[in-house]
A and B are shown apart, each in its own frame.
Chain A
Amino acid sequence: MSTFRFFAVAGLSLCSIAVIAQESPGLGELVSSDELAALDYAVLPNGDGLPAGSGTAVEGSTVYQQYCFACHGDKGSGGINDALSGGHGSMTSKSPVKTVGSFWPYATTVFDYVRRAMPLSSPGVLTNDQLYAVTAYLLFINDVVDENDVIDAKSLPDVKMPNRDNFVWGYAPGT
């Protein structure tokens, strides 16, 4: 195949994926499963991607005081940054208050997001146990779990968030 056709195919027709693949330079390097484990942060609502470890809200309260309180306030009531609790039942009101408890559809998102991004100035400092514990704490201050409920890879996906049934999809796959 000439150079000319190679680029013509690649540039104009994404339908010809098979053709492109044959002609792609094939420069991707295989990644080992150890390497993947180190970079895979994705958590799915069904629990896929959740690591080993566990924690309770009681333990999480300590983590929260040390790492989160300064920005998110007492029991997640909000401080210089977002409130993480309250607002329950306010979505149909004139001034809805969106928080983890009043709005978020999936509990797994709390673990996923906090592990990626919080605490803001030093994400990555918390151990998996601390992450489960502070997740449990955020759920506890929103009356979603009890203080001593053990949150781990198995129990977290089963936690039903109060606002879960109020979400629809604006995108239909295959359209």
Chain B
Amino acid sequence: MAEFDELPAAGNGLLDRRFFLRAGVASGAALMTASASSLERQEWMKGPGAGMSEAGAPSSHESHVVRASIGSLTGTTGTGASRTPLQLLDGIITPSRLHFERHHSGIPDIDPDQHRLVLHGLVERPLSFSLDALARYPMVSRIQFLECSGNSGASMAPEPAQGTCAALHGLVSASEWGGVPLSVLLEEAGVKPAGKWLIAEGADSAMMSRSVPMDKIMDDAIVALYQNGERLRPSNGYPMRLFLPGWEGNMCVKWLRTIKVVDQPSMTKDETSKYSDLQSDGVSTLFTFPMGVKSLITSPSPGLSMGAPGLYQISGIAWSGAGKIKRVEVSADGGKSWADAALDAHVMPKCLTRFRSAWRWEGSPAVILSRATDESGSIQPTRETVLKGRSTAAFYHYNGIQAWHVAENGEVTNVYV
């Protein structure tokens, strides 16, 4: 069977994507011999274990799986970000406690009974909704990604920054988001014909605000109340946030407090001074909303060194603000040849998709890459293409192909190809 199962699919040891399906993962693992002592009855099997508890926590042996690269502007504690440890996770759902954070003036401690969502501006009836009222509306839930448009900004640096997936690309997460379609609430308030935009504002100390076009709101925007089955975490906007599937995270205003319907964008600080894209000719583009098609190999990746040469699974995530991921290709020879990766069963629009490839690593230096294509036909661009025409001060919407260098000793580092 070995020859069939290890059908090469691309250069430098990449195997057919059906490899794991046919062979199982046994062949690699079978070579390992268990030490005798670990097969004997263990300490924790010699008496009853711990009892039940009101809320679970990860194993104490997993205490290293935490948000990373936590940073805040000088003199502040809550004007900054923390990042999802993508390299330590599998599947597509980000545990809520590990969802990345990006706040502009800390996390407010909101009393849900006092909090109101107010719709006003160009509406027939300005309305206020309590959390209890909103919870009685028909809800929808979808599993979708949320990405800060500043994610991967480090990849624009002239020299490759060294860090883990978390440090370099950890401002993306995926959750099941549940809530009330904003279109339903706006219909109740009665949007006047001139109402083409709305200004969403949060109840944080910075009253973070963004302008959102009405088309998007009517398409798929929700006032999210639930994340992964429980009420939102405070760091994700408790008790309610705007969620705009596939669009830059900053617009998904947390701690949502007011929505003002207007006839033009407000040009808030966060849609002009920040979150706009400066080109080298001095022109800046405002309102670049959707997040582009993107993928990332999370294993192997920096910090997860390879062991002895042999059979490995290359695994990662792919996503697109335009819809579903159609295809992910992987290369183990720096982009000379590519093979299709297998996609896990859950391929959903505007969601993370997990991909996997089998790789027979011979122990020589290699450069591994992944490249995603979405259902609209967009293909993830190279770093060079992304940077073309951009200012050196440009920072947002980087979705270039990520290359990892695997050294002979198995160490993985960030490289540009």
Contact (Cβ within 8 A) A24 B285? no
Give Cα distance in the complex from A17 to B189, angstroms.
13
From B126, B267, B282, B289, contact of A31 by CB (8 A): B126
Q: A20-B138, A95-B392, A96-B392 are in contact. Are A40 and B183 (CB under 8 A)?
A: no
| A130 on interface, CB distance cutoff 8 Å | no
Q: Render B253-270 as a binary contact track against A, CB cut-off 8 A, 1 for contact.
A: 000011010101011110
Contact with A along B237-274 (1 / 0, CB 8 A): 00000000000000000000110101010111100110
Q: Which residue of B lies closest to A43 (CB)?
A: B266
Question: At the interface, yes or no: B67 with Cβ under 8 Å from chain A?
Answer: no
Q: Is the CB of B189 within 8 A of A20?
A: no
Closest residue of chain B to A175 (Cβ to Cβ) is B215
**Chain B, 182-201, contact with A by CB distance < 8 Å: what is the 0/1 string?**
01110111000000100101
Nearest CB of A to B220, in Å: 7
Q: B residues within 8 A CB of A41? A: 201, 207, 209, 258
CB distance A170 to B285 under 8 Å? yes
B274 nearest CB neighbor, chain A only: A98
Q: How many A residues have CB within 8 A of the partner chain?
A: 60
B286 at the interface (CB under 8 A from A): yes
A-chain residues with CB within 8 Å of residue B266 when the two chains form the complex: 42-45, 112
Contacts across chains A and B counted by CB atoms under 8 Å: 192
**When the two chains form their complex, are residues A109 and B272 in contact, meaning their CB atoms are under 8 A apart?**
yes
Total chain B interface residues with beta-carbon distance under 8 A: 69
Q: What chain B residues lie within 8 Å of A23 (beta carbons)?
A: 138
Given contacts A11-B140, A28-B129, contact A171 B288 (CB under 8 A): yes
- Judge whether A117 and B288 touch: CB under 8 Å: no
* Separation of A43 and B215 alpha carbons in the complex (Å): 22
CA distance A71 to B76 in the complex (A): 11
> Could you tell me if B285 and A30 are in contact, using CB atoms closer than 8 angstroms?
no
> Known: A167-B286, A170-B286. Is A27-B215 also a contact (CB below 8 A)?
no
A61-69, A100-108, A145-153 - the one binding chain B = A100-108
Whether the Cβ atoms of B269 and A109 lie closer than 8 Å is: yes
Q: Which residues of B are found within 8 Å of A166, using beta-carbon distances? A: 282-284
- Within the assembled complex, what's the spacing in Å between the Cα atoms of A123 and B205? 7
| B120 at interface by CB-CB < 8 Å | yes
* Interchain CB contact under 8 A, A174 and B272: no
Most A CB contacts (10 A, CB to CB) among B74, B104, B119, B138 go to B138
Chain A residues, CB < 8 A from B196: 173
Instruction: State which residues 370-401 of B face A: CB under 8 Å.
Output: 391-393
Q: Are B76 and A120 in contact (CB-based, < 8 A)?
A: yes
Nearest A-chain residue to B197, judged by Cβ: A173
* B205 CB, min distance to chain A CBs, angstroms: 6
B277 within 8 A of A: yes
Is the C-beta of B155 less than 8 angstroms from some C-beta in chain A? no
Contact in complex: A17, B183 (CB < 8 Å) = yes
B348 at the interface (CB under 8 A from A): no
Out of A14, A39, A71, A116, name the residue touching B75 (CB < 8 Å). A71
**A155 beta carbon closer than 8 Å to chain B:** no
Taking a contact as CB atoms under 8 Å apart, the answer to whether B280 and A92 are in contact is yes
**A106 with B272: CB separation less than 8 A:** yes
Q: List 10 A-B contacts (CB under 8 A).
A: A10-B181, A27-B136, A28-B125, A30-B128, A91-B282, A117-B207, A167-B276, A169-B286, A171-B288, A173-B213
The interface of chain A, by Cβ under 8 A from chain B, is: 6-7, 10-11, 14, 17-18, 20-21, 23-31, 35-36, 39-46, 48, 71, 80-81, 91-92, 94-96, 98, 100, 103-106, 108-109, 112-113, 116-117, 120, 123, 166-171, 173-175
For the complex with contacts A21-B184, A36-B118, 9 further pairs of A-B residues with Cβ separation under 8 Å are A27-B129, A40-B258, A40-B260, A71-B75, A81-B74, A98-B278, A98-B393, A109-B268, A167-B286
